[in-house]
Amino acid sequence: MMAENRRKNLDEKNALISLQCYWSIHIFNKKKRSQNRRMILSNFVYNFLFFSIVYSIPIPPTIITEPDSEIVFDSRLNLELPCLAQGDPTPSYTWTKNGQVYNLNTQNNRVMMTADSGTLIFTQPESLDQGWYQCNATNDWGTNRLNRSLQKIVILIALGTAISRKVYVLQAELGEFSTYDKPQEISVRRGDSLRIPCKSPIATPDPDIYWTDSTNAGDQLGFRVTNPRIQQDYHGNLYFLNVKDEDERKQFVCNVLSRQLNLIRRGSTTQLKIIKSEPIERKPLRLWASNATQTALKGQTLSLKCIFGGLPTPHVSWRKTHGSIPEKRSTLNLEKQELIITDLQYEDAGVYECRGHNEFGYDVFSINVQVDSAPYWIGKPKDINIAEGETVDVICNAESRPSQQEIQWLRNGIPIEDRRVPYNPSRRLRKNRLTIQNVTKLDTAVYQCNISNIHGFVYTNFFVNVMSQKPEIQRGPEALYRVVEGKNVVLPCESFGIPMPKVYWKKRDRIITGGKYSLSKDGNLTIRGVSASDNGVYTCNATNKFGFATRNTTLNVKQKTRIKTRPNNLEVRRGANAIFQCSASADQTLGLTVDWYKDGELLTYTGRFIKDTIDPNQLKIVDVQFDDAGSYVCRASTDIDFDEATATLVVQDRPNKPTITKIMCNGTSDQPFAIVQWAGTGDNNARILYYELQYNTSFQVNDWTSVPIEQKRKSFNEIKSQDGSNTLEPKTTIFKTTHLPANQNDLRVALACWTNYTFRIIAYNRIGASDPSPISESMCSTKACRPKTNPAQVKASATQSSPLLIEWESMPAIQWGAPKFWYEVGWRQAPVGTKPGPFITQHVSPPQRQFSVPSSVMNMRYEYYVKAVNQQPGESNSTYATDNPKTNIAFAGDSAPTYVPRNFRVLHMLDSTTVQFAWDPPLPSDETDIRGVIKGYQIEVFRLDDPESTRRVESNIPANQTMATVFNAPPNADVGAHICIETERYFGPTSPVIQFPTREGRPGPVTNLRGVPYTNNGIFLLWDPPDDTNGIIIGYQIDYKAIDSIASQPDLDQPSILLRDDTRRSYLLGSLKPDTKYRVQVRARTSVGLSTSPAIIELTTNQSLVPSKPTFTVTYRGTTFFNISFDPTIMAVPGSLYYVQFKENDKEGLALFKKSYAVSNERNILVNSLEPGKTYTAILVAGDGIEGETKSDPQMVTTLSKGMCYSLYFTE
């Protein structure tokens, strides 16, 4: 119907052309109509095809949907044979059955063809519908209608017929088991093997056969016998490898299942009667195996099986006698009696051995596998559109095994050698090759190629469509393309014509080829990396022997949009403001818009997000919140391109308050403790630095105490020996801190007796401390026990009211260990050289913390102590502290000492500031001069020329030492030192001053370090010498690095810059990144080393700027050199490096510019290796090392001739 409508709707112009052709033929042949009717029709067809081809392109049919090669139908369901083809005009369909035309009208309306395809639908399929079917799809072209004054003439020109593969249709069936099969009983000896046959009924297609026994008779679809001793061959017969008594109580039934019909048939039952004789153990014996010779097809699945009987049950293994079994494509069943190889390949051919073995022997069976294949395509013909007069050459090529093939060619479904196919002397067949020379429109047809061997065939349709079509540009370029520089652009020009047009491009009447231009097979022109020189008009040309077509387009190349100032990553505390800065440049003819995106979404600049109206390149976020964190993109865009820069906003705050997760309390022992566990709940983007665990007690409800821990710190001491060499001595320092490591989440806490504890935890990061965690719900209570310690800071002194007053530090209630607590003070006289008597004791109750010894004798030597004592609940006896108290010595009526340490001296000079001193200890007879107890020693060192301002004091030297090291002596000076003792209230007189020189040392920090950004990639540094040189300054060292927020990775440290000029006070630090923050440190150097601490500044370099135009002066010249001088300070934008371009002014003008060395911190450049008496062009170039360079005006410089002295202050 669609084809008919298409024929009715042909262009009226075609109809008139055809009418004219008809009338010319009609008049010319009026008298000879009967003789020349065939000639008239032939000429009419030719003219019709020729004129109509210009306005419509016919396409012969192609089968795109066809049925499978075999279809089995269920008579209870509809049968469908699909067939669909494409072509222009729309194809019509017919079918053949068993080689004869299939007439749907004779099928009593049981069979219908769908309206939009050739698909057949059988509503009540019957057995008579079985047979071989084939679909034919045909289209024709050339129907015309003439006006009413003429007879209606319809001419149909068949373009071709495509045919589907043949399909064999057969009806599904499943017969019954023979009615003569009755239940049977088989007698078999215990341990013997047994075979039970299954006589399967007739079935189409082949059914599934399985066995069931009485243990799972209700499960008809499950495996019949789940027992490795019982196996089934490929024909459905059941094998017992060895029979056991348990098999006697079961009824075995053979079942067949038709999955097509969803039907199951059950055979008769078989029951075993076991003869209870002693089983005979025997070696394996093959009961059944796959055929000894197997032929399988490539790509299919190969199944091999061997069943071995025997007692004990045999084990089965497989091997390939020559080669290996493919590991990835092979599987074995659970009992390993079946080998399955998928996707079979030629190399899988060979001999496979199955081996059944037990402890009594083995049996082996060999299966020879041959792998063949049905034909498969290696050269499949394709559809051909071709112009008249050209040659068709088609190869139909397939591989197979065996290689003997039969090749058949058809035209419109009819063998070419058949008489029904018109003879064509230009057509030639040579086995798998079809050639048609000098084709005409009568050669238009659908051709078929069929290649077959003993295992199958491959078959395909392809059309030859003979046409004459001048070029048409079906998808040409648009009128204008705007592209930014550096991009690739594709100008489309896809054309059609018969023969296929040749496409080429022109610009300014010149054919474009090679270089940055490339032409695709479709005719599309690609221009890579466009620039301003690519602007212009481009013309696409498509041509063949029937004509040509052109299409013009204009290419307009624009300046690329670039981000100039990229936004920096920011770290902002919650509640503060964040400002991103971003600027861009674009082509002046395009509108530039700068927008901001957060996490891929365009910001609307409302509420807290503000786009500055004065500075549209700035984005301000007010009162930053955690939700504002993320990735921000500055997008500068025009109509045709964009550039983006990304920055990260990290919102930080104090950590969330952590939580105490568990407390394990042990309060019943004399050494109570608690294990506290906690967990963090978020660091708010600033990592946790440490925790503090705090507790309060029933004695200090509102006071929280941080729990200290002991930690070790490893370091090295630099020891300088007397021979001048340095050695590093490892040192471990144990210190206490309340900072618990961030990766720690529990702590064992020692508790005091007779106390109630609760805990909380606080987290710290770089922003600050979190709120304390909720107070622990569980309270840790401890029992009473004796005090752990005695009072601290026990001392005795003389006052106006008491010659001997004993004092101590009060012990807080948490240290009492029981509710009833007091101090015991003991004292006695202890003159030197006599045996002291017993201690006199006195109880003192808190809060009293001092006791005046009654009737004390002036200047008498006393021994005294203070003890902690308690009485536990329910006990009558008092208990003393665990530790014994220290017995102290005091003199009643204590006064200033007169003792001077003897023999104070320098023991070692370790380095420029480290001096080791020694002295003699006091003698017993010196106690009267000491007038008390030596608390320690104090040493003072100082410069002899300035003792007051350079005085260093080393105090708190323990009283039992006679050696001490001073680490901060003035270096590189004449130094004096003395020593004195310290008692509880007084310092004694100093010893005589000893004098000694110290060595040169490391200098102090440089002073007044400052810096100024210089150009866009430099920093100009200035500084003053150290106040404390500590020796002779021999130079300076500069270190620097780019720094950023902690959210990004900082640059690596740059190599140190060494300045060996002690008078140097400035330096230009160049080759830096524009608009980047740098940390710079400067240290002075002596022969000993660098400054003890560096002077540090942080500066940001300027944004990228091209240097201003420099000027220079030629200061002197010689026969082979000249020197230029310049002053960067007079330039508006100085450069960070300078060099000279120069060349000889030769007559031919062929000399090329050369470059001198580049300088950064110098203001002179020497140009040498020149020729005497020659004139040179010199240009000073100022660069920033990144963005660009600026050249000075050129100057002419003439070198001196030989024999002349060099000239000073030469200018031109």
pLDDT of residue 26: 33
Do 642 and 636 contact (CB within 8 A), yes or no? yes
* Same domain? 776 vs 648: no
Q: Count CB atoms within 10 A of the CB of residue 1207.
A: 15
Encoded amino acid at 252, one letter? F
3-state secondary structure of 941: strand
155 pLDDT higher than 50: no
Task: Note whether residue 712 is domain-resident.
Answer: no
**Residue 142 scores a pLDDT above 50:** no
Compute the distance between CA of residue 955 and CA of residue 446 in angstroms, rounded to an integer.
114
**Regarding predicted confidence, which is higher, 88 or 367?**
367
End-to-end Cα separation, the chain, in angstroms: 98
Domain that holds residue 885: 795-891
| Shared-domain flag, residues 844 and 916 | no
Cα distance between residue 657 and residue 681, in whole Å: 7
926: left (phi over 0), alpha (psi -120 to 50) or beta: alpha
The Cα–Cα gap between 1144 and 1160 comes to: 26
In this prediction, residue 16 has a pLDDT band, given cuts at 50, 70 and 90, of very low
Tokens coding 214: 């009485």
Tokens of 283: 């070696």
Reduce the secondary structure of 698-725 to three states and give it as a string: CCEEEEEEECCEEEEEEEEEEEECCCCC
Neighbours of 206 (CB within 10 A): 9
Residue 115 lies in a domain: yes
Cα distance between residue 307 and residue 322, in whole Å: 23
In this structure, are 575 and 633 located in the same domain?
yes
Is the previous residue joined to 655 through a cis bond, with omega within 30 degrees of 0?
A: no
What average pLDDT does this structure show over 936-959?
A: 90
C-alpha span between 293 and 475 (Å, rounded): 61
Tell whether 787 is covered by a domain: no
Amino acid at residue number 1: M
Q: Nearest Cα to 86, choosing from 52, 137, 157, 158?
A: 137
Instruction: Pick left, alpha or beta for residue 42 (phi over 0 → left; psi -120 to 50 → alpha; otherwise beta).
Output: alpha
Q: Which residues pair with 825 in a beta bridge?
A: 842, 866
Quote the pLDDT of residue 1209.
45
pTM confidence score: 0.47
Does residue 790 form part of some domain?
no
Condensed to tens digits (0 to 9), the pLDDT of residues 182-210 reads: 788 899 999 999 999 999 999 999 999 98
What is the mean predicted confidence (pLDDT) over 570-599? 92
647 with 616, same domain: the answer is yes
- Spatial contact of 167 and 69, defined as CB atoms under 8 Å apart: yes
Q: What percent of the chain has pLDDT over 70?
A: 90
Q: Where are the beta strands (DSSP E) in 190-262?
A: 194-196, 203-204, 208-212, 230-232, 238-240, 251-258
State which of 1062, 1077, 1100 marks the end of a domain. Answer: 1100
Contact 279, 229 (CB under 8 A): no
The pLDDT value given to residue 223: 52
- pLDDT tens string 497-540: 888 899 999 998 899 988 999 999 999 999 999 999 999 999 99
- Residue 711 inside a domain? The answer is no
Q: Can you tell me the distance from the alpha carbon of 63 to that of 139, in angstroms, rounded to the nearest whole number?
A: 12
Please tell me the distance from the alpha carbon of residue 1122 to that of residue 1177, in angstroms, as a whole number. 12
pLDDT digits (tens, 9 = 90+) for 251-265: 899 999 999 999 999
Rounded to an integer, the average pLDDT of 4-16 is 34
- pLDDT category at 147 given cuts 50, 70, 90 is very low
Chain mean pLDDT for the chain? 86
846: which strand partners?
none
Number of domains in the chain: 11
State the Cα–Cα distance between residues 101 and 163, nearest whole angstrom.
13
pLDDT for the residue numbered 141: 61
Give me the pLDDT at residue 225, please.
67
- 480 with 578, same domain: the answer is no
pLDDT value of position 582: 93
Distance CA 1137, CA 338 (A): 83
CB 1084 within 8 A of CB 1007: no
Tell me whether residue 325 is in a domain: yes
Q: How confident is the model at residue 1047 (pLDDT cuts 50, 70, 90)?
A: very low
Asked if the model's pLDDT at residue 1212 lies above 60, the reply is: no
Of 379, 414, 442, which residue sits at a domain end? 379
Q: How many residues does the chain have?
A: 1212
Q: Are residues 372 and 411 in the same domain?
A: no
User: What CATH code is carried by the domain that includes residue 246?
Assistant: 2.60.40.10
Instruction: Examine the pLDDT at 559 and tell me if it is beyond 80.
Output: yes
**Residue 77 within any structural domain of the chain:** yes
Note the pLDDT tens digit of each residue in 985-998. Answer: 789 999 999 999 99
520 lies in the same domain as 595: no
Q: Are residues 819 and 917 in the same domain?
A: no
pLDDT above 50: residue 34: no
Are 680 and 669 contacting, i.e. CB atoms less than 8 angstroms apart? no
Q: Which of 683, 623, 647, 630 is nearest to 1045 (CA)?
A: 647
Q: Are residues 259 and 184 in the same domain?
A: yes
Backbone angles phi, psi at 924, to 5 degrees: -55, -30
Q: Which tops the pLDDT comparison, 58 or 625?
A: 625
Q: What count of Cα atoms within 13 Å lies in the side-chain half-sphere of residue 411?
A: 21
Cis peptide before 89 (omega within 30 of 0): yes
State the pLDDT confidence band at 45, using cuts at 50, 70 and 90: very low
Q: Is pLDDT of 24 > 50?
A: no
Residue 830 covered by a domain: yes
Does residue 30 register a pLDDT over 60? Answer: no
Q: Is residue 18 located within the same domain as residue 148? A: yes
What string of H, E and C letters represents the secondary structure of 1141-1165?
EEEECCCCCCCCCEECCCECCCCEE
Mean pLDDT, residues 621-643: 93
Helices and strands, number each (H, E), in the chain:
4, 98
Same domain, 369 and 387: no
Token pair belonging to 1176: 């040179």
pLDDT tens digits for range 828-870 = 998 877 888 999 999 999 999 999 999 888 878 889 999 999 9
* 210-233 average pLDDT score: 72
Task: Using the 3D structure, point to which of 357, 379, 401 is the last residue of a domain.
Answer: 379
181: its two tokens: 């099969």
Assign 3-class secondary structure to 526-593.
EECCCCHHHCEEEEEEEEECCEEEEEEEEEEEECCCEEEECCCCEEEECCCCEEEECEEECCCCCCCE
Q: Say if residue 296 is in the same domain as residue 268.
A: no
The tens digit of pLDDT for each residue in 784-824 reads 999 999 999 998 888 777 888 999 999 999 999 999 999 99
Cα–Cα distance for residue pair 1169/998, rounded to 1 Å? 53
d(CA 1080, CA 1010): 10
- Strands 406-411, 445-453: pairing is antiparallel
DSSP reduced 3-state for 726: strand
Token code pair at residue 819? 């509710």
The pLDDT-based confidence of 606 (bands split at 50, 70, 90) is confident
State residue 1048's pLDDT score: 39
